[in-house]
A and B are shown apart, each in its own frame.
Chain A
Amino acid sequence: MLNRIHITGMGIISAIGNSVEETFQSLNACKTGIGKIHHLKTRHRDDFLVGEIPFSNVQLAEMAESQVFDRTTLLGLIAAQQALINARIGDMKEARTGFISSTTVAGMPHSELLYKDFFENRYQGNFIDSHFSGVSTNVIASHLGIEDHVTTISTACSSAANAIMLGARLIRNGILDRVLVGGVDALSLFTLNGFNTLLILDKEWCKPFDDQRKGLNLGEGAAYLMLESEKMVKSSSKKSLALLTGYSNTNDAFHQTASSPEGQGACLAMQKALKIASLEPSQIDYINAHGTGTPNNDSSEGIAMQTVFGSKVPAFSSTKAYTGHTLAAAASIEAVISILSLQHNTIFPCLNREHQMTDLTICPVDTLQNDVALQHVMSNSFGFGGNCSSLIFSKN
């Protein structure tokens, strides 16, 4: 019997709110956070809609009580602090405490503003030391006083799922007693323009699982979960919000950016997560899908769900039309949302959907469903490089 992994705290900031409570309110009201660009300085300001957090870096620094100027680190700090307060953890030394964060942009939102001036000798400062991925993790760890195993994962859009999975494995392997896990990404010119070159940004609100979907809306945010061992929770008589029962990471090994049409990697990830959780497919009550709204992802993921669950695909929806696609934060933001679903027995529906996908026989949840008995919830996250991850959260 594997050691049970408890979630004892959560923290989140995204376009739909700066706390777990605000996030729930927005979801429960079916309210999107996606709109026009205000803070990111881009020539595409009027071309795309994004899930931007409505605060400047100065405002975020005040909220985080930090002198840091880097947006990625600030968002991470805000969510991480919330999670620790929620888990009622103050003293990091009382148990072996780790921190696993994920990011794809890291210091890019700051570096990209200085890059040209630096190489044309108009800027003489040093931004490279705050550019690389580990820096934001280190700043957050040191701010929180976490000194045991700390690391950073970057596997594109599945990053945070892998951070969560690693945390559970570190506890089960007896390396840590508890670990703060999740991911963060701020909006950047780099990612906005990058996804634009792939022609997978929808100029309007994204429509996950709609037959006429055109692409994704980018978002930004951070979310962290405090994972604790069974022993830690028992000894402190702490409230466990939910259990992390299943996790898995696989590779589609098909294409650098696109998913295979039949979603092989996705199938394997879901099946393996079920195996780790010792659950039958029929025991999953709801799937928070990756559902980015790109033609390729939603088709491939839908077919994979049909393969894994056969004629009994559970209720599923994508919440990307609320928050936007927050890349390395997406899986942890959706982990918080999955746990909110479990806690409130509520399924938050897809937004903006009108047309049934012709290549799928299944149909996502389109209206808010309260009072659904949810025991086990699966959350999918897939990324470039064929990276596929599935997590399963269960009621304690």
Chain B
Amino acid sequence: MEVQEIIKNLKVQIVEQLNLEEVKPEDIDANAPLFGDGLGLDSIDALELIVLLEKNYEIKIQDPKEAKAIFTSVQTMADYVASKMK
């Protein structure tokens, strides 16, 4: 799967999994930070994202500390997914 396609899918999956009521998938900037200023996600969302990757891509993140770098933005998530799928 191409990174661009993964980004598209991830946006939809994030909105659904986190029940982002007022956000449309296409409104998410792939390079904007997921936590803090950008999408405004928090530590509970980070745990949701770990399961999102496991459920949709069969990728298991074992160390919560590792998750921080992976979940910087949708782009970094997609890069990580792409690297695991190769």
A interface residues with partner B (beta carbon < 8 Å): 197-199, 255-258
Contacts and interface: CB of A to CB of B under 8 A. Distances in A.
Most buried by B among A198, A199, A255, A257: A199
Contacts of A257: 44
B43 A258 contact: yes
A256 B44 contact: yes
11 contacts: A197-B47, A197-B51, A198-B47, A199-B47, A199-B50, A199-B64, A255-B42, A255-B43, A256-B44, A257-B44, A258-B43
A258 B43 CA distance: 9
Given A199-B47, A199-B64, 8 more contacts: A197-B47, A197-B51, A198-B47, A199-B50, A255-B42, A255-B43, A256-B44, A257-B44
B46 to A, nearest CB: 10
Interface residues of B, number: 7
A333 B44 CA distance: 30
A197 B45 CA distance: 11
B74 to A, nearest CB: 22
Contacts of B50: 199
A168 B24 CA distance: 53
Interface of B: 42-44, 47, 50-51, 64
A199 B47 CA distance: 8
Contacts of A256: 44
B43 to A, nearest CB: 7
A256 B50 CA distance: 19
A199 B61 CA distance: 11
Contacts of B42: 255
Contacts of A258: 43
Contacts of A198: 47
A94 to B, nearest CB: 51
B59 to A, nearest CB: 15
B49 to A, nearest CB: 12
Nearest to A200: B64
Contacts of B51: 197
Contacts of B43: 255, 258
A198 B47 CA distance: 7
A198 B51 CA distance: 11
Nearest to B61: A199
A257 B47 CA distance: 13
Nearest to A296: B43
Contacts of B47: 197-199
